[in-house]
Structure 1
Amino acid sequence: MRDILKPSVVLFIICLAVSTALAFTYAVTKDVIEERAKLDRENARRAVLSEATAFEKIEDLESLIGGEAAKDKVKEAYRGLKNEDFVGYVFTLVTKGYGGEMTLTIGVDKEGKVSGVKIGDNRETPGLGAKAKEEPFISQFLGLTSGEKLSIVKGKKSKPEEIQAISGATITTKAVTEAVQAAIDVAAELMEKEGVEK
């Protein structure tokens, strides 16, 4: 009995010590981690709508937008301001890629044009879906407006609203394209409701 009890007590003490150390580390770093995440989100907003100097969160977004697809993807919306003048919107969206959920930050300027796309947290396949973060793919969205619906093509694109798919990453391409389309649609809807003149 003593041979069984002694290792069990030692194991229990080790587990207790490790758990206490982890809890202490979490308590000490929790605020720092949250502050860092907040700063990362702010930097992403500035990257996609560089003209803005401040961002004002749009409260009660669900009641302002109509489309269910857009409501499912758009998690947060901000008005971009420069000297209290409206310069555009920034949206935080979550879409489903090949590797799971992807978080995107998308800017739409006051003209209704996509001003930037930044892909954040994702688990897309390195060398394939992860190419969605790279310039050749992302730059296809810049300047697009709410005119024609975006479509995906596997060969060369012939129209601005056509998005050339990443080879071997069609699901990722579709996920990002749908998120950008949702941001464009929501921006157009908000501009109409808020009386923004283009």
Structure 2
Amino acid sequence: MQITFFTLGLGLVLALPISFGQIYGNKLLKMIIAVYEKILRSIPELVILFLIFYGFPRIGVRFSPFVAVVIGLGLRSSAYQSQVFRGAINSVSKTQMRAARSLGMSNLQGFVFIVLPQAFRIALPPWTNEFTIVLKDSSLAYALGVTEILRQGGYIIATKHEPMIIYLTVAVFYFVVTIIINKSLGRVEKKLAIPGFDVKETVR
């Protein structure tokens, strides 16, 4: 769970300015962001983890296995979260930003105070899906020696010799946590929903 929350947090912190740059940036910035996203979305997560954990020591930078996992999965998550928020931001009417600009706000102020709060409501359902993906991807920490639930299950198997029962228990844990998180975020989504926002008038 620590890996999941830290990874999502890092991804979110990076995704928001990336989304802003995608929509309001100049051509050069948009091109840099596009390359960044393309690279991170094209390389398997496990390869990213190995590159960070084994590659950075070559230039004198060392990360603990836990930190390497959070950085690697966080960077990957930022590429996907930025797409989630870009779509949500584009769903907010352009007149909202024009109204903010007419009140003397800068693009950044209009984005933070006017557009982003509305975009968060729209982004919550697909962001919930990203939460589920990151939760399951946290099992990749096993490859770097981080003692997460899968590796802990391996330790138990070494003494109990019941791999089927242990791995089924691990699977049930992931299933239960995923259901709880999805249900909880679903309630948040309903609480933040704007009454009548998605209601369409029936044409007779």
**TM-score strictly above 0.5:** no
Higher helix share: 2
Q: Which has the higher contact order (CA 8 A, sep 6+)?
A: 2
Give the TM-score of the pair, scaled to structure 1: 0.30
Higher strand share: 1
Larger Rg: 1
Give the TM-score of the pair, scaled to structure 2: 0.29
